[in-house]
Structure 1
Amino acid sequence: MTNPAASTFVYVTFIRTTPERLWTALTDPQFTRQYWFGVHADSDWKAGSPWQLVFADGRIADTGEIVEADPPRRLVIKWRNEFRPELKAEGYSRCTMYLEPLGGVVKLTITHVMDQPESKLIEAVSGGWPHILSNLKTLLETGEVLPEPKA
């Protein structure tokens, strides 16, 4: 049962690819750098293993632990922000990535939950995930990332 006072962000997208290719895109550091604006994920992707997102300059963006890895279907990460003190203070969130093949596409559902109301981390990821996942979708479908948005 989930906490009704938890903060939750859910994003669903459909990507013309295979579950295996999408899994690789989500877990391979060389691939993540392409659509995550130079940031890469580092882990061996096994339950209980450490996980981190690393900025291009080597600083640690986020850390945590792989809670569950069922390639190429489901990935669950215990996730804490490390570079913004007000977000780090909220503690660990939980990010679940579910890949569901539907014919020639894969439905990717990201659910990011913080076990407290009005989480600033969930507010932050609510702005970040759509940009990152749109970039991922475009890269997998066209071979290129999106141009940087101009304000």
Structure 2
Amino acid sequence: MTGYLAVAEVDIDAPAARVWNVLTSPDQLKQLWFGAEVETDWKVGSPITWTGEWEGKPYQDKGKILAIEPERLLQLTHFSPLTGQPDVPENYHTLTYTLTANTHLKLEQDNNSSEDEAKHSQDMWEMLVAKVKAAAEGSE
């Protein structure tokens, strides 16, 4: 991982299988990703897109699935045109979701250009992992 790292972590009182479902279910993802439609086939090397609207502006974020180990690891790249940066590899972030014993979820985002950018990203990811926790603990 490169650049400044943003990290968000949470302990979840639910089995890893339930947390994994929250992280990969289209309906759950729409809630996690601020209403965006997330599309992918969850295979290594496949594209992933997030299509939605933010503050009245339509957008489509994109990335690629880098690694997937059900109930343990999900790693993907992410780029958003809303950043105003050019769509070049150095402007993509790598998001790594790791699930460990007793269902601890850790989300890391690399390639932040400054501590402020990393803190902003961390704040956003802390909201997302809290939503994962709420969804997984509320699922039956």
TM-score, normalised with respect to structure 1: 0.76
**Greater CA deviation, 74-83 or 27-36?**
27-36
Q: Percent identity of the aligned residues?
A: 23
Change (3 A) 1:87 1:8: farther
Q: Deviations over 1:2-59 (max 9, x none)?
A: 55xx1101111011111111111111111112343312321111110001122269x4
Among 34, 41, 45, which residue is 2:42 paired with?
45
Query: 3-state DSSP class of the match of 2:79?
Result: strand
Partner of 2:97: 97
How many residues are treated as equivalent by the alignment? 136
Q: Equivalents in 1 of 2:132, 2:77: separation in Å?
A: 21
Q: Deviations over 1:87-111 (max 9, x none)?
A: 8676111111001132xxx100101
Q: Equivalents in 1 of 2:43, 2:71: separation in Å?
A: 13
CA contact (8 A) 1:69 1:75 kept: yes
Q: Equivalents in 1 of 2:81, 2:121: separation in Å?
A: 14
> Any gaps of 5 or more consecutive residues in structure 2?
none
Among 121, 128, 136, which residue is 1:125 paired with?
121
Task: State yes or no: 1:23 paired with 2:20.
Answer: yes
Matching of residues 1-151 of structure 1 within 5 Å: 3=2, 6-55=3-52, 59-86=58-85, 91-102=91-102, 106-114=103-111, 117-118=113-114, 122-142=118-138
**Greater CA deviation, 78-87 or 67-76?**
78-87
CA contact (8 A) 2:97 2:106 kept: yes
Structure number with higher relative contact order (C-alpha < 8 Å, ≥ 6 residues apart): 2
Cα RMSD between the aligned structures? 2.6
> Any gaps of 5 or more consecutive residues in structure 1?
144-151
Q: Equivalents in 2 of 1:46, 1:122: separation in Å?
A: 28
